[in-house]
Structure 1
Amino acid sequence: LSFPSLARGTAKSPVTNIMFLKTHKTASSTVFNVLLRFAEKHNLSVALPEGEHFHLGYPWLFLARYVEGSEQQRRFNIMCNHLRFNPPEVQKVMPEDTFYFSILRNPVFQLESSFIYYKSYVPAFQAARNLSAFLASPWTYYNRSASLNNAYARNNMWFDFGFDNNAWPEDGYVRARIAAVERHFQLVLIAEYFDESMVLLSHVLHWTLDDVAYFKLNSRSQSSVTSLTPQDQERAKRWCALDWHLYQYFNRTFWARIHTELGPRRLRNQVALLQERRHQLTDLCVQDGAPKKQSQIKDLQLKPYQSGEADILGYNLRLGLDNATLQLCQRMVMPELQY
């Protein structure tokens, strides 16, 4: 390609055994793409769902048998499909030295995204006119015993970590569960600071910045994003109190980790380099330099899955790319189901 590769920040060899807990509506599809590209580049094995499934048993608690090839007692390098975390079962298919990480998003906006994306799928969302109506009286719509699919409607990130999303947010309980997350996960990223998250991830995994260069995937057009009133935001925090505690705690630890690992100046420099690389790759790969609505995407292989009332954006690639560049660009914009 026409630009030099960004060097690894350390001489240490890159971490290659990685479990990413792919939470929902948290920019996790973009992380998923980064991980699959890394796996392909380094010829690593990936724990894929068995059969025709897209998820590793979600929303049920993960079992090792949900992985293709698990019956041969084999271990995998990378695990990054949606699953509900269940450590003993994950450990059956991942090596002992696996690096565990995840990503969280402000639960107010995570819930807004879930509502739009899963509107027709989640029983609790179906009858609500909009998210504001749902938040004004959530128990009118939400029945905790109705279906596991209702997990998308309340404390969904807490649920993804394997916990009870209907538990009372009592201090001792919350602290104990957060401590459990800290025991199992070496790093929790924050979606609102995605570039900073990618820089920190590359640093901790001894990867290059090129390894974490990305295009935003599975994002919505602005027209399908609902802006919430301050009152609705407060209601969402109360309704998803467990997620709110989780997010606040790991937002603090994220910045503490940034401070100790990188420091502000190095962080700024690395983020600037990553953003510059994204601009270069956008110029290289993307037609018109911007994501498109699904109706405008010409290559069926690059059309993202559409869900609910969300208008999921994708990319058209520039014409006339040479083979090597085309392969790179295709992988960077490939929606996760196709990948």
Structure 2
Amino acid sequence: MSETVKNSKQSCSKVKNIAFLKAHKCGSTTASNILQRFGLRENLNFVLPDKTGKWFWVLGHLSSHTVREIIPLPKGEVYNILSVDTVFNKTIYQQLIPNPFYLTIMRDPVERFVSGAYYSISKYKSLMTDGPYPFQQTEMTIKHSDFVFDTSKDIYRVLEESENDFNFVMITEYFDESLVLLKYELCWSTKDIVYITRNVNKAKQGYALSPEDRTLIERKTGVYKNVYDHFKMKLFQEIISHGTDFLNEVFYFKIILKQVHDYCKYPTQDNLQIPSSKWNEKFTINTSECHLMNLTEFPLVSMLQERQRKKLVDEQHKTVNEH
């Protein structure tokens, strides 16, 4: 990771061009919400599907044909942020966004599988039981379609390529720690990384796995587990390198998140004032920002699509009027 600033009082330029691989069941909806709100504040352009109806929020496998299905921009403008569902394709990412910061998020493969199973309950119903453990010992289909690893390659080669592909990999189990480190990397402010957790499935709370099923799931995840373990360790090393003050900042950040959550749930004043500290400048949160933080993926993407289409129409009207 690059040499970065440790607080917003030091001068640097915010990174605004970001390609985010939105990985399923990893907290990526919350991460996308953070990126999308940042893009709105900074008046940036998003890579968005130019479609309506079923799967309107998904780009999926990227190709030259897919690129033609993206909402175009006014002449002379460029895309800044990709944060919708895609399968990783660095070549296409580079074609879409000038010199992007490559970002993704990974989650413990067992937890990711369980989350996906509860989300797609009808698909996995045959695996689920009423006993003390929710899964039977049987063959399970593990799919991580947003990550494509070449399993014919040596694991060390896969890890090397993964290192080269991404500037930063967040870890779901250490979400707040990842965000504070990402703040350093992107030269963002604390306000830029505040959030309210999105898309939490409460149905799976309190589940348990037998040791046999946990081992089975880990084995079936294959290369994904190796890559996850690698980047989790890398995150730990980065945290250690920043010393105990980093842990103090994360603790302070968690307090801010609680204040934001409480205010957005019961906004008893015009805005929430967050005082300055050694890690952040003073900032405010208002009810409009609460609304955006609380939006689920579909209405937020739809709003961004409408915004970008309107921008294109306004530019076309301006061109006609000038002539």
Render the CA deviation track for 1:167-222: whole Å, top value 9, x for unaligned. 47xxx532222222211211111000011011001111000111101111101215
Provide the aligned C-alpha RMSD in A. Answer: 2.8
Counterpart of 2:246?
A: 267
**Structure-2 change in CA distance of 1:338 and 1:129 (3 Å):** same
Identity of aligned residues (%): 27
Q: Does 1:100 pair with 2:102?
A: yes
Q: Does 1:42 pair with 2:45?
A: no
Alpha-carbon contact 2:149-2:223 (below 8 Å) kept: no
Following superposition, the deviation at residue 241 of structure 1 comes to: 1.8
Counterpart of 2:292?
A: 331
- Greater mean alpha carbon deviation, residues 74-83 or residues 40-49: 74-83
1:184 maps to a residue whose letter is D
Where structure 2 has 5 or more consecutive residues not aligned to the other structure, the ranges are 1-5, 273-284, 301-323
Render the CA deviation track for 1:122-170: whole Å, top value 9, x for unaligned. 5xx35434597866221xxx6xxxxxxxxxx4141xx312335xx47xx
Render the CA deviation track for 1:248-295: whole Å, top value 9, x for unaligned. 1111111223334xx1322112102211111211221114xxxxxxxx
Counterpart of 1:298?
A: none
Aligned counterparts, 1:104-183, within 5 A: 104-120=106-122, 122=123, 125=124, 127-130=126-129, 136-138=137-139, 153-156=141-144, 159-163=145-149, 167=151, 172-183=153-164
Q: Report the TM-score when normalising by structure 1.
A: 0.74
**Structure-2 change in CA distance of 1:34 and 1:129 (3 Å):** same
Where structure 1 has 5 or more consecutive residues not aligned to the other structure, the ranges are 1-5, 143-152, 288-317
Whole-angstrom CA distance in 1 between matches of 2:14 and 2:32: 17
SS at match of 2:219: helix
Counterpart of 2:15?
A: 15
1:326 maps to a residue whose letter is T
Q: Report the count of equivalent residues.
A: 277
Counterpart of 1:28?
A: 28
Counterpart of 1:213?
A: 194
**Structure-2 change in CA distance of 1:73 and 1:177 (3 Å):** farther
Aligned counterparts, 1:215-254, within 5 A: 215-221=196-202, 226-254=207-235
* Greater length-normalized contact order (CA 8 Å, ≥ 6 residues apart): 2
Whole-angstrom CA distance in 2 between matches of 1:49 and 1:319: 38
Render the CA deviation track for 1:72-127: whole Å, top value 9, x for unaligned. 796311111110011111211111x210011100000000001111233x5xx354
Aligned counterparts, 1:299-318, within 5 A: 318=267
Alpha-carbon contact 2:50-2:69 (below 8 Å) kept: yes
Alpha-carbon contact 1:105-1:192 (below 8 Å) kept: yes
SS at match of 1:283: helix
Alpha-carbon contact 1:65-1:71 (below 8 Å) kept: no
Alpha-carbon contact 2:118-2:203 (below 8 Å) kept: no
Render the CA deviation track for 1:312-338: whole Å, top value 9, x for unaligned. xxxxxx477579822011011111111
Alpha-carbon contact 1:56-1:67 (below 8 Å) kept: no
**Structure-2 change in CA distance of 1:24 and 1:334 (3 Å):** same
Whole-angstrom CA distance in 1 between matches of 2:204 and 2:164: 40
Alpha-carbon contact 1:20-1:102 (below 8 Å) kept: yes
